């Protein structure tokens, strides 16, 4: 029987929780994606002006990748304290850190003013962004997952996931508007700063909303249980994850490979490929990503709801296989140079990506125990980003520079799809798992004992 803590909250309360997570993740991803778009469009000129254009773009994407390198550290720190102190406090801190770093980038002097100190400061601020985002994702999806019930967890937990396309939509929309109304010289001189400074206003709105929600009831229950057994010292969340959930961490990392790599190829690298190899204007490429991101936002809850009906694994596998099959047509459509073809390429790619991204929140949340869930989900998701999303635009740009062809880039994405298909293929279905049943590893139960047998029979894990 599910505990009282797992009872569904009132509809209005749950919607407020979802809204708080969605708005917060939208702002965080706006900040993160804004940097990626700016790296592709102007940072090569502003911070690496002594390099030729493609090398400058590579250096610009290198600072972009640095943000991913900090995400595992953020996952470790935020995961540890999120499992000890609660989800809400850490989510407020991550929002302040991300917004503050983004606002500071908008005030940063360029290479023309500060010389080599400018790209160094840019890299430091990017590290802060990555550190904050490394702790943001896990807390946001857990806050929703732990408030809802198993029957519709995939749907509700997918809403924080829409923060990624919403942030992409907002960042691309602001940049698209500015490039449309400003000349290239005005945009490169001062116009690029406006979207970064706008982050300060958005953070205040997000902070006000996040402070209004309650802590996860599932976490409160687990914390109360931990307080009653103070005599038995609890291991650190990281130690517990490595001991009990190492297989789940590896599965989460493998599941992230195709999802993460394909997303940054489709949304960030396309701004380079379309404007250089396909001779498409910067405005046209931005508009295509803008419209496709709106479609991406709309389909994620649909995929999340489908995962509640047929399971997390089938939906995830469909998305991964679809992305792999789409890569060669994706670049062929872009090469045509037509806006309609470009829009179709990006839209279909993001719809298929959504089939992986939507169930991911519930899927990863359901893998881990409550008192190590923030750490486990964050570590699995963010450690993978170092090998996946971090170098994706960099590798894709280097492959384009070396081979002057999209074929190696397609094969690169397809290789990541194979890894994801293997990882998700060996995973267990987690749909309908009760998150309030605080879990440790099944191997902790005594072999052959009644407790172990009952656990296996019910499909739940024991305290």
CB 22 within 8 A of CB 30: no
Position 442 scores a pLDDT of 40
pTM (2 d.p.): 0.80
Phi and psi angles of residue 371, each rounded to the nearest 5 degrees, phi first? -80, 0
Position 308 scores a pLDDT of 95
In terms of C-beta density within 10 A (0-12 exposed, 13-18 middle, 19 or more buried), how is residue 75 classed? buried
Residues of the chain with pLDDT under 50: 1-7, 231, 438-463
Instruction: Report the SS3 class of residue 199.
Output: helix
Position 256 scores a pLDDT of 95
Q: Tell me: the pLDDT tens digits for 121-164?
A: 888 898 898 898 888 888 888 888 887 677 889 999 999 999 98
Spatial CA neighbour of 161 closest among 319, 282, 43? 319
In terms of C-beta density within 10 A (0-12 exposed, 13-18 middle, 19 or more buried), how is residue 17 classed? buried
Position 1 scores a pLDDT of 37
Give 219's contacts (C-beta < 8 A, 6+ positions apart): 86, 87, 142, 146, 370
Position 120 scores a pLDDT of 84
Position 462 scores a pLDDT of 30
Report the C-alpha gap between 333 and 349 in whole angstroms.
Answer: 12
Position 241 scores a pLDDT of 82
Residues of the chain by 3-state class (helix, strand, coil), percent to 5: 80, 0, 20
Position 21 scores a pLDDT of 83
Position 233 scores a pLDDT of 59
Position 263 scores a pLDDT of 93
Per-residue burial over 284-312, b if 16 or more Cβ lie within 10 Å, else e, is bbbbbbbbbbbbbbebbbebbbbbbeebb
Report the C-alpha gap between 68 and 66 in whole angstroms.
Answer: 5
Report the C-alpha gap between 206 and 136 in whole angstroms.
Answer: 13
Q: Tell me: the pLDDT tens digits for 43-56?
A: 877 887 766 566 66
Structure tokens at 232: 């038995």
Position 376 scores a pLDDT of 87
Position 16 scores a pLDDT of 80
């Amino acid at each position: 029987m599910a505990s009282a803590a797992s009872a569904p909250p009132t509809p209005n309360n749950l919607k407020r929780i979802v809204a708080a997570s969605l708005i917060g993740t939208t702002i965080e991803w706006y900040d993160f994606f804004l940097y990626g778009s700016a790296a592709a469009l102007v940072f090569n000129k502003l911070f690496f002006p002594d390099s030729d254009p493609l090398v400058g773009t590579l250096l610009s994407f290198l600072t972009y990748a640095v943000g991913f390198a900090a995400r595992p550290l953020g996952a470790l720190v935020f995961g540890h304290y999120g499992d000890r102190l609660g989800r809400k406090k850490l989510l407020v801190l991550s929002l302040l850190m991300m917004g503050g770093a983004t606002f500071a980038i908008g005030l940063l002097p360029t290479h023309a003013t500060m010389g080599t100190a400018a790209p160094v400061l840019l890299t430091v601020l990017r590290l802060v962004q990555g550190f904050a985002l490394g702790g943001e994702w896990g807390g946001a999806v857990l806050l929703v997952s732990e408030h809802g019930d198993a029957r519709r967890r995939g749907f509700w937990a997918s809403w924080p996931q829409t923060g990624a396309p919403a942030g992409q939509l907002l960042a691309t929309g602001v940049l698209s508007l500015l490039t449309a109304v400003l000349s290239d010289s005005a945009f490169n001189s001062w116009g690029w700063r406006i979207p970064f400074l706008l982050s300060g206003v958005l953070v205040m709105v997000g902070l006000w909303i996040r402070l209004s929600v309650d802590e996860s009831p599932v976490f409160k229950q687990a914390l109360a249980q931990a307080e009653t057994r103070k005599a038995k010292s609890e291991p650190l969340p990281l130690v517990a994850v490595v001991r009990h959930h190492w297989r789940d961490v590896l599965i989460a990392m493998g599941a992230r490979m195709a999802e993460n790599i394909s997303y940054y190829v489709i949304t960030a690298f396309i701004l380079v490929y379309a404007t250089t190899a396909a001779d498409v204007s910067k405005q046209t490429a931005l508009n295509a990503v803008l419209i496709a991101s709106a479609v991406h936002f709309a389909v994620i809850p649909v995929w999340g709801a489908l995962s509640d009906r047929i399971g997390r694994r089938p939906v995830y596998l469909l998305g991964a296989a679809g992305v792999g099959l789409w890569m060669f047509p994706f670049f062929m459509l872009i090469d045509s140079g037509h806006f309609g073809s470009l829009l179709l390429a990006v839209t279909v790619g993001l719809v298929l990506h959504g089939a992986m991204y939507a169930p991911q929140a519930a899927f990863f949340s359901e893998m881990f125990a409550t008192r190590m869930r923030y750490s486990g989900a964050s570590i699995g998701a963010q450690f993978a980003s170092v090998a996946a999303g971090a170098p994706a635009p960099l590798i894709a740009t280097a492959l384009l520079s070396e081979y002057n062809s999209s074929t190696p880039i397609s094969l690169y994405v397809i290789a990541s799809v194979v890894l994801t298909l293997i990882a998700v293929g060996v995973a267990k279905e987690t749909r309908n798992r009760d998150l309030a049943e605080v879990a440790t590893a099944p191997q902790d139960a005594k072999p052959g004992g009644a407790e172990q047998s009952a656990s296996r029979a019910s499909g739940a894990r024991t305290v």
